[in-house]
Amino acid sequence: MMERFSARWMGIILVIALLMTGVLGFVNLEPKSGPAAEAVANAGKQLDALLAVGHKVSQEPLDVIIKWQGTWNTDRKPEEAAAMIAEHLGLGRPYHTMVQDHLVYRAEGLNTGARVQISVTRGSAQELYAVAQIKGLSEGNSSQLKGVQAQAGEKLISLGMDVKWNAAVQGSGDKLTESRNTEGNITVMLEKLERHAGVFFELRRVEGFQDGRTVSESYEVPNFPISVQSGGNSIALQMAVHDNTVTGQKEFSLGSPVLTVEY
């Protein structure tokens, strides 16, 4: 299921500019204090909100991808940095691979049902670029994913990295096609998705994209603390509905602050 995520959304997301830069209360897994506390708490609230909307419109488990990514100003070599991060997160031994002519050091492992992978590469003379990616399924209880997310964010920040959070939730829009008016009409399905999301938080449309099989909108969400700037607007959520011609299903995707290309 997770392998289908990038394949079926890659064509959609490539046309969307890659932007890297109290909603709901569930189990409190955030660190009590320290420089990572606010970032981890904000990420936990936003993940809760995405999952709440996703489970509202789908009866099936949701695919979830979470990322902490950013720079690390350090004199450590990439392989040393990867080994240090892997040890902190309880992952396997790092290995290296070439990605678009860049040497990347990676390590991976399982943590309470979620697959965690870290990637470290040289950004500049004194800067490394690191990504911690968490993949898992949500079947209604977000506590495990939220715990893995909190652990990764807290550890990376405590090591001195300047990291940003991003998450994507994807599933089958079975509840978006329950009426004759919405069946086959992805624009109407997105409007229905907006109404479901509006039950949990306020959202304001900013900009959109549409072709024959995909419709997507970006939103300001006043109660979301994590956002990116685009054309003077503060975008905190992106939602899309897609007609998958391979599976024959209508699918939705929620990204916060935006949907990004998986790498």
Residue owning tokens 């599976």: 247
CA distance 109 to 134: 10
pLDDT digits (tens, 9 = 90+) for 83-137: 999 999 999 999 999 998 889 999 999 998 899 999 999 987 789 999 999 999 9
More confident residue, 235 or 139: 235
Question: Which has the closest alpha carbon to 216: 247, 177, 258?
Answer: 258
CA distance 233 to 28: 31
pLDDT more than 70, % of the chain: 83
Tell me which range, 15-24, 200-209, 239-248, is most confidently predicted by mean pLDDT: 200-209
pLDDT digits (tens, 9 = 90+) for 11-43: 333 333 333 332 332 223 344 556 678 999 999
Longest CA–CA separation in the chain, Å: 61
More confident residue, 140 or 165: 165
Judged against a pLDDT cut of 70, whether residue 199 lies above it is answered with yes
Q: What is the pTM of this model?
A: 0.83
pLDDT more than 90, % of the chain: 63
Average pLDDT, the chain: 84
The whole-number pLDDT of residue 96 equals: 96
